[in-house]
Structure 1
């Protein structure tokens, strides 16, 4: 039985409120900045309340972008980021779940060596292999393409490891029952393993979508044409202007718009996401 302690409940709520305020304050300041004019933040005084330019600033970013920074309308950058994030998340899950399936359910020479080689790539982040990766992408003519943005980031040792651990928890009776019913390997994978992995796939999709959406360094290197700019790299280019002051109100408007798609994905998939993280038994 949980005791009702008003003081402890009050303290817990105060801690939660303070935590939410600390997390939300930067977002609120960014939103307020996106509703003011270009000179309101140059005085050193940070406004706390929204200004009168909300519709003007956001409509400008959607219609014309920022010509002084060579930035296209924000809708194009959001589309590029969405295509990149979806390609990375779907590609990572597809490759990783098939790799884990092969490692767990098939017996072939050097099977565990292949797994540990895949697992060892966790120690090689994108920044370490970015020069040879860029050379390969450039030689294949994939600069300024969606394939160049997505394919080098698709392979995932983390997802392969997680799916392997999931498949190891599956009871052997499932495999035996499928074999007795005459199901082949791919039918067993499609009709049994995939439905049982649904929540884990959803959780990984959310994580990988946010990973792909937040990519900064790689899109900055492989995109030189404005029609392939992603939203995160676009914000950086908007802030880096050589002969003028950055238009911070437009930068902040773009930052707020960049937060919305991953937030929407998390909200829509929250139930499956949480279930996939905490579920331990099938």
Structure 2
């Protein structure tokens, strides 16, 4: 029994190492390409070890004018646009969803569950399905080429509302009664009790929604006509299309590397709360 268990452990670790290698290999190649000059990346065979031009490429990419031969904004500006969009989407979704769930669970009003199911049904209508009427509304309101236009149509989230509702349903009614006895009103109960108890769930949702907003492509591509409002995901696609004329793979890979950093920082910073928010079942 001990020998069988040992072989199972070895096999598990081998599979895990192979899986990590498969995931990490593209990232390593991106890092290597970002550390060589443009000429070396057009020669065969491609290098597998880092070069000596990393900081040079970093400075030229982040603070330069972007890929030569393309009409795109500086990389720092596109990173800022993506960061603003991702933060507004994540914070907006969480704020609207937690307030909606609070109203549905703790207030009694006509058609309360009907409104909840109307919110839930919107899961069947992603932005890709309603993109034309959404674009018309945003254009009529003059929100093209703006952070509000980038984020506002993507803020509503039925999934987050459902998740917060399920969290609030697990909170004992005794807490609500105790708050009433102490003279706490609805807002005091919300801020002092519900929000702290939902901290791990908020963190888990923030990580998921931040990455969701950061990786948006179709909607920003549709409503941004000004290059100063271009997001980093769109810029990488434009760089790849321009690579046939200007094969500066060191700049392209450095841009891709920079685009990975904010989501990685968010995941690492909130890792413990993220895991707890997805795994804990009781308050």
TM-score scaled by length of structure 2: 0.94
CA offsets 1:217-267 (integer angstroms, 9 cap, x no match): 111111121221111111112222398144322111101110011100110
Is the Cα contact below 8 Å between 1:240 and 1:246 reproduced in 2? no
| 113-122 or 226-235, which deviates more | 226-235
The correspondence of residues 23-102 of structure 1 with structure 2, limited to 5 A, is 23-43=23-43, 45-64=45-64, 65-102=66-103
Question: How much does 1:3 deviate?
Answer: 9.3
Question: How much does 1:177 deviate?
Answer: 1.3
Is the Cα contact below 8 Å between 2:120 and 2:159 reproduced in 1? yes
Question: How much does 1:210 deviate?
Answer: 0.7
Pairwise CA RMSD:
1.8
2:238 is equivalent to residue 219 of structure 1 = no
Is the Cα contact below 8 Å between 2:34 and 2:253 reproduced in 1? yes
2:108 is equivalent to residue 107 of structure 1 = yes
- Specify every segment of 5 or more residues in structure 2 that has no aligned partner in the other structure, as ranges: none
Is the Cα contact below 8 Å between 1:203 and 1:276 reproduced in 2? yes
User: For the structure 1 residues 18 and 192, does the alpha-carbon distance in structure 2 shift closer, same or farther, using more than 3 Å as the test?
Assistant: same
| Distance in 2, Cα, partners of 1:252 & 1:222 | 26
User: For the structure 1 residues 209 and 142, does the alpha-carbon distance in structure 2 shift closer, same or farther, using more than 3 Å as the test?
Assistant: same
SS in 1 for 2:69: helix
Is the Cα contact below 8 Å between 2:145 and 2:229 reproduced in 1? yes
Paired positions, count: 281
Is the Cα contact below 8 Å between 2:201 and 2:277 reproduced in 1? yes
TM-score scaled by length of structure 1: 0.94
Question: How much does 1:172 deviate?
Answer: 1.1
| Distance in 2, Cα, partners of 1:7 & 1:57 | 46
Is the Cα contact below 8 Å between 1:66 and 1:72 reproduced in 2? no
Residue 143 of structure 1 corresponds to 144
Residue 257 of structure 2 corresponds to 256
